[in-house]
Amino acid sequence: MNESSSMILFGATGDLAQRKLYPALHRLYKKRKKPFAMIGVARRPYNHETFREMIKNSVEAQGETCDQSFLDTCFYFSLDVQDTENYRGLKELAEKVDLDFGLYGNRIFYLALAPEFFGIVTNKLKESGLTKGNGWKRLVIEKPFGRDLESAEILNKEIRSSFEEDEIYRIDHYLGKDMIQNIQVIRFANPIFESIWNNHHIANVQITSSETLGVEERASYYDRTGALMDMVQNHMLQMVALTAMEPPSRMVTEDIRDEKVKVLRSIRPVDVSNVGDLIVRGQYGSGTLPNGLPAIAYREEENISRDSETDTYVAAKLFIDNFRWAGVPFYIRTGKRLKTKSTEIIIQFKEAPANPYFKTFTNMKPNLLVIHVQPYEGITLKLNAKNFAHPMDTLPIKMEFAHTDEFNTTSEAYERLISDCMRGDSTNFTRWDEVALSWHYVDGIKEALKKKNPPLAFYESGTMGPIAADDLLAKDGTIWWPLSQ
DSSP string, 280-293: EEEEEEEEE-TTS-
- The pair phi, psi for residue 384, each rounded to 5°, is -115, 140
Cα separation, 429 vs 213, in Å, equals: 26
Residue 415 binds ligand BG6, judged by CB under 6 A: no
- Beta-strand runs (E) in 11-106: 36-42, 74-78
Taking CB atoms within 8 Å and a gap of at least 24, the contacts of 99-104 are 100/37, 101/4, 101/6, 101/35, 101/36, 101/37, 101/73, 102/4, 102/35, 103/4, 103/5, 103/6, 103/35, 103/36, 103/37, 103/135, 104/2, 104/4, 104/134, 104/135
- The pair phi, psi for residue 169, each rounded to 5°, is -115, 100
State the nearest-atom distance from the C-beta of 178 to ligand BG6, in Å: 12
Cβ closer to ligand BG6: 14 or 366?
Answer: 14
Cβ closer to ligand BG6: 211 or 377?
Answer: 211
Taking each helix axis from N to C end, the angle separating 253-266 and 432-452, rounded to the nearest 10 degrees, works out to 20
Cα separation, 293 vs 190, in Å, equals: 45
Strands 74-78 and 36-42: parallel
Strands 202-210 and 342-349: antiparallel
Q: How many CA atoms lie within 13 A of 184 on its CB side?
A: 23
Q: By CB under 6 A, what part of segment 135-194 binds ligand BG6?
A: none
State the nearest-atom distance from the C-beta of 142 to ligand BG6, in Å: 9
Asked if residues 185 and 330 have their Cβ atoms less than 8 Å apart, the reply is no
Asked if residues 8 and 110 have their Cβ atoms less than 8 Å apart, the reply is yes
Q: By CB under 6 A, what part of segment 317-356 binds ligand BG6?
A: 343
Of 426, 409, 407, 408, the residue nearest 417 (C-alpha): 426
Cβ closer to ligand BG6: 103 or 442?
Answer: 442
SS3 content of the chain, % helix, strand, coil (to 5): 40, 20, 40
- What is the H or E stretch that residue 126 is in? helix 118-127
Cβ closer to ligand BG6: 60 or 216?
Answer: 216
Active site residue 26: no
Residue 211 binds ligand BG6, judged by CB under 6 A: yes
Alpha helix positions (H), 203-309: 219-227, 237-244, 253-266, 275-278
Cβ closer to ligand BG6: 98 or 178?
Answer: 178
- Number of residues binding to ligand BG6, judged by CB under 6 A: 4
Cβ closer to ligand BG6: 343 or 428?
Answer: 343
State the nearest-atom distance from the C-beta of 8 to ligand BG6, in Å: 23
By Cβ distance, which residue is nearest to ligand BG6?
230
State the nearest-atom distance from the C-beta of 339 to ligand BG6, in Å: 15
State the nearest-atom distance from the C-beta of 132 to ligand BG6, in Å: 33
Strands 168-170 and 313-319: unpaired
State the nearest-atom distance from the C-beta of 343 to ligand BG6, in Å: 6
Q: ω before 144 within 30° of 0 (cis)?
A: yes
State the nearest-atom distance from the C-beta of 429 to ligand BG6, in Å: 14
Instruction: Tell me which of 235, 372, 403, 440 is the catalytic residue.
Output: 235
| Site map 224..243 versus ligand BG6, x via CB under 6 A | ------x-------------
State the nearest-atom distance from the C-beta of 163 to ligand BG6, in Å: 23
Taking each helix axis from N to C end, the angle separating 22-32 and 413-423, rounded to the nearest 10 degrees, works out to 60
State the nearest-atom distance from the C-beta of 251 to ligand BG6, in Å: 25
Q: What is the dihedral of CA 143, 149, 152, 158, to 10 degrees?
A: 170
Residue 301 binds ligand BG6, judged by CB under 6 A: no
Cα separation, 464 vs 339, in Å, equals: 6
Catalytic residue numbers? 235
Residues engaged in binding ligand BG6 (CB under 6 A): 209, 211, 230, 343
